[in-house]
Structure 1
Amino acid sequence: MSKDWLWALAAIVVLGLLSGIGQFRGLDESLFNLFARLTPASPTPRIDLIAIDKRSLKSLGQWPWPRSTLARLLDIAATGNPKIMALTLPLDTPQVTPGLEALEHLSMRFKSEGLSEAPATLAHLGRRLPAPESERLARLGASLDRFSTQLRTTMNKLDQDRSLGLGLSQNHHVDLAYTYAPGVTQGAPETPLPAALTRNRLTASTLLKQASPPSAYTLDLPLNAFLTHALGAGALGGSAVGWGRFTGTPLAVSYYGQILPSLALLIAMQSLNLSTSDIRYLPEQGLKLGSLLIHADRSLRIHPRTYRGVGGSPAFKTYSFTDVLNGNVDPTVFRDKIVLIGPTDASADGLPGESRLELLADQISSILGQDAIYSPAWSRYPLMAGWILAAIYLVWLLPLLGNRLAGATAIALISALVAASFYPFYTYGIWYSPTGPALLLFAGFWLIMLKRRLYSGKGLLPGSNANLENMRVLGLAFQSQGQLDMAFDRFRHLPINEQTLELLYGLALDYERKRRFDKAHTVYEYIARHRRSYRDIRERMKRTQTLSEATLTPQPGSGDKIGNGGTLILRHSGVQKPMLGRYEVEKEIGRGAMSTVYEGRDPKIGRTVAIKTLPLSTEFQGEELEQVKARFYREAETAGQLSHPNIVTIYDAGEEDDVAYIAMEYLKGRNLTHFVGREDLLPVSVVLEIVAKCALALDYAHRHQVVHRDVKPANIVYNVDTGDVKLTDFGIARITDASKTRTGVIMGTPSYMSPEQLAGRKLDGRSDLFSLGITCFQLLTGAPPFHADTMATLMYKITNEAHPALNALRDDLAPCVSPIINKVLQKNPDKRFQTGRELANQLLRCARDIREQNL
């Protein structure tokens, strides 16, 4: 513990720097808002709000509304004789409707063509002409004069700005708002300020010497047509210029050396019948408004209170704009009130945030009630005392205390700091933030606690011994589930001892079984860093380094695809048997164009299985790979549901490093490709019985809505000793079909495909019977019925040419054989056997006749 003070000093320096650059500002604001919610405050009853709320927007349409609507509302509210009304909406751009634009263009054209002077000209000409012509000219002049008058009248009705200007001229107690962009100014403004601002500006000579209000670079003023008739105009700041309840809102802004009051200060001053000469700044206190003292800092900012009504109701009486406009509110409720008109926080989007009424109402009430939150100059002293207290605790007291007592003391000190900050806030409205010292106490305490545990070897957290046991158990669980990377991540957190080394060694062997030799090498290296002579890890490190490129999924560019030259079996002494899922791979027993078949073993029940692998990632990429994987599992599930004595049984299907595999019944015997040579032909009756069993298997599959698609000798296994026949590879054809479609070529040979399969039409069970017929033809004659030198010629023959006569190739066949073959090889599926059972019955009847003849 002798070095605890160094850690404490580091915490003080780091936390002090972070606090100095404002990194705790978010926490300060959260604490300020919490204090404000916990502190009761009563708003002045002199303020009412006319809110542009969601009801108004729904009733009157989306913003912006015609300004004549605002003028109508001002006229209605003015009948109640309010003290002051204030519009917080932006009025800095003209509101021109398409109709008004068209009429203005027409009026200009009317004048440019001289038609505005036409009545006088026509009257002058009429006096020189006879009576009939003179009367016609007089009527024409009168029509032009009426048209000009009507045009001006219609333009005035459509001129929204004129309507609002008239409304303001009839109600001389309306204040307007303007926004500004902060920035430093020099020299003189390009245009002089309008009278609505200059008559309300504060005495700059006194204020600028003692205070420094924020400077405005540009002012977004209402149009002169409005300012001319307004009582005054005040600055309205908000989140867009960085002002808020926590940061404070300025009571005035400086514009080219002129001090302009905020809208809140202007309204408060006018409501008290005061003038700008009644405002002065008192250093270290704030702004004096008549007899009121508004606590503010040198930048003339105040933190307005957050007022709330009783039972969650609004703090200020709020009337919907549409209710006032439609006469649902008696205007006399506004008598001698400050009426604020604008959007509320509950309004829809499209209205500027600076014009929200709630913050403005809180500012005015805080001024009139003299209860604004403020930070006096002396508030920095208790803040400094808090930092000193936290530093003394960390550097001097904490090293002397035990962990529990130190924690209790830290909690007590943090609570004392928060309480010492909340009491003046609640009682006097004085704010200073305790977050810096409180965070120093919290972070410093935990930093030193962490240092003590590390140096004492107890681990990072209390209860580390139990955590280590949980880590070991969790790692073993991940290892048993095949999630070896997650198991390794858990084992690395264990202390190095015999038990841990044993766990890591077993994990490395599992990596070898998964053909992840690079990962196995990493684990062996980890063991060697702690004990280089552990068991045989030196030899295993060399071996796995050599074999690190041999993985289940070949590396890009290796050219080693599983099922196409690649294999899971590595002939290297000492290498663990590979694993696919839960199966141990013993040896390779066959391979095809896209797949490799291995003999495997299920170690849990000791069952020998055949494992067919399909390296999908070498044939497909991206989204196509995911689609093929989904199809693979669907087809495997469908095939796994087939249960027939002549269909191979599917036990399991899965995926290992993008290699899909199917575990199925291990068959004894050989596939029929061993019996298609002329010297290897089976007896005719045996061939017919084999094909009949396949037909019955297909009939069963077709009744379960499964089409094989790839019936051929290679997919039929026959056990000569027992006579068992098994049809294999259900569903695999759909996966290989996807590869064929993608590459644009046909994998293997189409010799066993039906005409409709070659044409790409929708297939049913009769296509499988055609393929079975070709297989039977080849088993009987030693040659397929269709063959050619090119793929195109072969496909043409299958689709268009009749098969050779069976008796012409083999004259010793019984008469019942040829009709069966002729029917099953019909080009038109409707002329073939319609079901596998129908075909099987014919084959078995013919086989029985042949056996009877041979007796």
Structure 2
Amino acid sequence: MGRNATGESLWNKDWLWALAIILVITLLSGLGQFRGLDEILFTTFTRLTPATPTPRIDIIAIDKRSLKSLGQWPWPRSSIARLLNIADAGKPKVIAITLPLNTPQVTPGLEALDRLNQLFKTEGLDGWTATISRIGHQLPAAEANSLVHLGTTLSRFARQLRADKDKLNQDLSLTQSLAAIHNVDLIFTYAPGVTQGNPDTPLPALLAKNRFPPNASRMNLISPPTAYTLNLPLPQFLQHALGIGAIGGQTLGWNRFTGMPLAVSYYGQTLPSLALLVAMQSLNLGATDVHYLPGKGLRLGSLLIRTDDTLRIHPRVYRGAHGRAAFNTYSFADVLNGNVDPNVFRDKILLIGPVGMAQGGVPAETRLGLLADAISSILNQDPYYTPPWVKYVLLAAWGFSALYLTWLLPLLGNRLAGALTASLIIALGAASFYPLYTRGIWYSPTGPALLLFSGYWLIMLKRRLFNGQGLLPGSNANLENLRVLGLAFQSQGQLDLAFDRFRHLPINEQSLELLYSLALDFERKRRFDKAKTVYEYIARHRRHYRDIRERMKRTQTLSEISLAPHPSNGDTPGNGGTLILHHSGVQKPMLGRYEVEQEIGRGAMSTVYEGKDPKIGRRVAIKTLPLSTEFQGEELEQVKARFYREAETAGQLSHPNIVTIFDAGEEDDVAYIAMEYLHGRNLTHFVGKAGLLPVSSVLEIVAKCALALDYAHRHQVIHRDVKPANIVYNIDTGDVKLTDFGIARITDASKTRTGVIMGTPSYMSPEQLAGRKLDGRSDLFSLGITCFQLLTGAPPFHADTMATLMYKITNEAHPGLNALRDDLAPCVSPIINKVLQKNPDKRFQTGRELANQLLRCARDIREQMA
């Protein structure tokens, strides 16, 4: 199955791989997955084909300079009104304001005057003039004159109140300006959506005047974007504006690539965009002068604007002479302050709006620039467009690319195929760029070009894989480089990189030997899944090579064992970070350069192995910490960095009573520390009442630990986890070694998955339990608890719950030593009482001070026994 009549594999055929990539690329293109590439290519090409804009457009920009001069936005609308009056003095053809004017501009002063005016009317003061006049005829002359004066004052107050209110009414100022000018266009925005039924209110008269008649203009043949709701300017502005047009930006999908619609549909009514409306007015055209020509675009009088049936245009990219801006741009503040001669605006299309401020999520500079480009593209009749015949050109390009991949490319050698494919891709790009540059015709060649590119590389990849050449170049020099590099990686313990190099070698006896040796190294590292992968790779090429079938089965079993949940923690993968040491036919495990012999101890989070440095034959103890089973993500990286810092710090300590650190490293997310191999047992073997050491021996052991801590403290190292399990004692020689410097900083400061503090707090000082900053006196407190337990067979503080235990350590006094053991010398209890003080200032301040007291007491005890 899968082979032809000659026995050659069907999957080795280039045309079959070409057919597969053709189907995939065609499907992705149909789903629009290359639209981003199309836009990038369109943007690049259009920047290389700038056009000259119409000189009829000027821009008055609300820019940073204006904001600095006139204050932060929003400004009073009277400023806009003043600017309109100044600009109108130059007699521009059309003025378009791109600012939203859909809400009243109410200042605190105007609100206060309005409330005062309402109060004046509510209290009936506006009617008192007539009342006073009527009453005045019935009173004496003097009183009548006073009433007349009061009436006159009230009338004057009412007139002044109305005058001041009108003066502060910014909307009234802008309304009066619009009424005087009569050639200002405003904008409306809209929410896109499908409309049904009838609108809540009829179209305002200004919108109804500018809508396109559907039948006479053939507007019934188009399908512009639909508007669900319109966001219109205030009615007083609409009453005096010349026209109103739609404007939008990227929030509505409007940009140069996707196209800007020249109209929107609102309940069946086709309303012009601001760009189209301004262009029409500049040409003295009305809505009845605009017609849609199917397959071509809009006819504006004698102008033909290329659009699709949604009335979208793709504005040109314009550039001014000598690298200047495309359109003459003036600062709002300069025009308002009289620094610009209004006559420069004569017969111009004047666009007024902000630059650099966002409006509705669209940068105003983009909105204003696109508007100017769109108007210029309409007047110049030069927008980018895609004629109907382009689809046949693209269909031919797709067909030629598919034929090339399935028929011609399989006949070519690798180098010729690469050169010809690159030439065809460049030709496709040129064939797209040339019509865009000369006539503004756009079509994207990304689909056929990606088909050629992907097809070529897939077939080249297939040729290498099926020819056994691998993915990298296959010259003798390159193959030797791969072999040497792979061996170098293997010797450095970077086995994954070594395998990546070895599998690109041609399959022969030499390469199989390299791969087999690499699989054995994976076994030594206890990476059984990786070893199985290498054995499977060998088996695909040499099924019966050596004993790989048995090794594949064995590594499969061991891989499953290593990935099984730990019995005590169902969601911890692997074996709790331990190593599988004894299994038939499995190589001895390695941690870094150390060969692991046997397990010699286990703690809450760590496991200790006896190992050997094969290079110098030195026996070592290797403590492993499976950090990846307790930490995740950034926390894991932070803990690893802290682990190496603490190991480095502990490695710099050199003291007879501190274990020597040789090395630290990481193997498959298991951190390890190689240290001096110690003879003896930790003090947990001597804390039971049945196995207590002599009192003088305990005091000497603790004194040696205190001297070791004094040395560490003077080197700015705090142990943080002094307890019997971390003190090794050789009963034959009397040697004492303090171990695990810095490990507590990694484990005890962290939380397990269930939120319990790692380790036991029975030996922690009150300040350590409280999370305060620690110094060496905290270690001395922990050493005091250890001494108490070695003397009495029980710790001074114990409880059924963690919270109770922590409370006792922090608040309750320890039991008296003599109450628990009446045979102690008198000098022992005062030492323990002082070292277990809650307040660090009341304890021994240094380890040497504590050691001196302990040794003096031990000497006294021995002298009494002599």
Does the TM-score normalized on the shorter chain lie above 0.5? yes
- Who is 1:643 aligned against? 654
| Aligned residue type for 2:134 | H
Name which of 32, 45, 48 aligns with 1:38: 48
**Do residues 80 (structure 1) and 95 (structure 2) align?**
no
Residue from 627, 647, 652 that aligns with 2:663 = 652
Between 1:457-466 and 1:166-175, the stretch displaced more is 457-466
Counterpart of 1:581? 592
User: Cα deviations across residues 401-426 of structure 1 (Å, max 9, x unaligned)?
Assistant: 44444444444444444334433333
> What is the deviation of 1:340?
1.0
Q: Give the direction of change, closer, same or farther, for the CA distance of 1:146–1:756 in structure 2 (3 Å limit).
A: closer
How far did residue 462 of structure 1 move? 5.1
Aligned to 1:815: none
Residue identity in the other structure for 2:255: G
Q: Which moved more, 1:366-375 or 1:96-105?
A: 96-105
Paired letter, 1:784: L
Which residue among 132, 144, 154 is the counterpart of 2:154? 144
1:836 counterpart (826, 831, 848)? 848
- Amino acid of the residue matched to residue 49 of structure 1? I
SS in 1 for 2:133: helix
Q: CA deviation at 1:52?
A: 1.8
C-alpha distance after superposition, 1:367-389 (max 9, x if no partner): 33333333444555544554455
Q: SS of the residue aligned with 1:605?
A: coil
Question: 1:126 touches 1:137 (CA, 8 Å); kept in 2?
Answer: yes
Tell me whether 1:710 sits opposite 2:727 in the alignment.
Answer: no
Tell me, in whole angstroms, the C-alpha distance in 1 between the residues paired with 2:635 and 2:442. 63
Counterpart in 2 of 1:92? 102
Q: Is contact 2:93–2:348 with CA below 8 Å preserved after alignment?
A: yes
Q: How does 1:252-651 map to 2 (within 5 A)?
A: 252-253=263-264, 260-275=271-286, 279=290, 286-297=297-308, 299-344=310-355, 346-348=356-358, 356-380=367-391, 382-387=393-398, 389-390=400-401, 393-394=404-405, 397-450=408-461, 452-453=463-464, 456-459=467-470, 463=474, 476-477=487-488, 479-484=490-495, 497-517=508-528, 520=531, 533-537=544-548, 540=551, 551=562, 555-557=566-568, 570=581, 572-589=583-600, 597-613=608-624, 633-651=644-662
1:168 to partner: Cα distance? 0.4
Q: How many angstroms apart in 2 are the aligned matches of 1:357 and 1:618?
A: 57
Q: After TM superposition, list the pairs within 5 Å mapping 1:797-816 onto structure 2.
A: 799=814, 801=816, 803=818, 809=823
CA 1:232–1:596: 2 relative to 1, 3 Å = closer
Alignment of 1:663-702 (within 5 A): 663-668=674-679, 697=708, 699-702=710-713
| Greater Cα shift, 596-605 or 741-750 | 741-750
User: Partners in 2 of 1:332 and 1:364 — Cα distance?
Assistant: 22
Which whole-Å CA distance do the structure 2 matches of 1:788 and 1:547 have between them? Answer: 42
Task: Determine which of 783, 788, 791 is the counterpart of 1:784.
Answer: 791
With structure 2 as the length reference, what TM-score do the two structures score?
A: 0.78
Write the distance in 1 (CA, Å) between the matches of 2:13 and 2:554.
Answer: 48
Counterpart of 1:239, as a letter, is: Q
Q: Is the 8 A contact 1:643 1:649 kept in 2?
A: yes
C-alpha distance 446-825 of structure 1, shift in aligned 2 (>3 A): closer
Secondary structure of the 1:356 match is helix
For structure 2, list consecutive stretches of 5 or more residues without a partner in the other structure.
Answer: 1-9, 800-804
- Partner residue, 2:77: 67
| 1:201/1:259 contact within 8 Å kept | yes
Deviation of 1:71 after TM superposition, in Å, equals 0.9
Which residues of structure 1 form unaligned runs of 5+? 811-817
TM-score (norm 1): 0.79
d(CA) in 2 for partners of 1:371, 1:457: 56
Give me the whole-angstrom Cα distance separating, in 1, the residues matched to 2:854 and 2:468.
Answer: 84
Shift of 1:316: 0.9
Distance 2:578 2:659 in 1: 24
Q: Aligned match of 2:834 in 813, 827, 840?
A: 827
Distance 1:596 1:63 in 2: 68
State whether residues 717 and 728 of structure 1, in contact with CA within 8 Å, keep that contact through their aligned partners in structure 2: no
Aligned residues: 837
Distance across 2 between alignment mates of 1:657 and 1:137 = 102
Residues of 2 paired with 1:54 and 1:84: CA distance?
A: 25
| Distance (whole Å) between structure 2 residues aligned to residue 227 and residue 560 of structure 1 | 69
Is the Cα contact below 8 Å between 2:796 and 2:814 reproduced in 1?
Answer: no
TM superposition shift of 1:307? 1.0
Aligned partners of 2:157 and 2:424: how far apart in 1? 85
Larger Rg: 1
> 1:704-749 CA deviation, whole Å, 9 max, x = no partner?
344667376983544747x766555555676786699985899498
Q: Contact 2:592–2:666 (CA<8 Å) still a contact in 1? A: yes
SS of the aligned residue for 1:154 comes to: helix
Offset at residue 193 of structure 1 (A):
3.9
1:343 and 1:351 in contact (8 A); partners too: no
3-state secondary structure, aligned to 1:207: coil
Relative to structure 1, the CA distance from residue 835 to residue 51 in structure 2 (aligned partners, 3 Å threshold; closer, same or farther) is closer
Which letter maps to 1:664?
A: M
Residues 89-133 of structure 1: per-residue CA shift (max 9 Å, x gap): 222333344554454455445434544323222322333344455
CA 1:748–1:378 in 2, change beyond 3 Å: closer, same or farther?
Answer: closer
The 1-side partners of 2:387 and 2:670 are apart by: 73
Corresponding position of 2:133: 123
**Local SS of the residue matching 2:675:** strand
SS in 1 for 2:674: strand
Deviation at 1:166, TM superposition (A): 0.5
Give the whole-Å Cα distance in 1 for the aligned partners of 2:179 and 2:785: 103
Contact 2:831 2:854 in 1 (8 A): no
Deviations 1:141-175 (A, max 9, x none): 33433333233223323332222110101112222
* Alignment root-mean-square deviation, CA: 5.3
Tell me how far 1:688 sits from its aligned partner. 9.1
In structure 2, what is the Cα distance between the partners aligned to 1:687 and 1:210? 103
Residues 653 and 662, structure 1, Cα contact 8 Å, conserved in 2? yes
Counterpart amino acid of 1:72?
A: R
Residue 170 of structure 1 aligns with an amino acid whose one-letter code is A
Moved more, 351-360 or 361-370: 351-360
Moved more, 361-370 or 94-103: 94-103
Aligned partners of 2:430, 2:571: CA distance in 1, in Å?
A: 72
Quickly say closer, same or farther: Cα 1:285–1:476, change in 2 above 3 A. Answer: same
CA contact (8 A) 2:594 2:614 kept: yes
Is the contact made by 1:521 and 1:541 (CA closer than 8 Å) also made in structure 2? yes
CA drift of 1:601 comes to 0.9
1:553-609 Cα shifts (integer Å, max 9, x gaps): 9725369999x9997575555443333333223234556777665432111221112
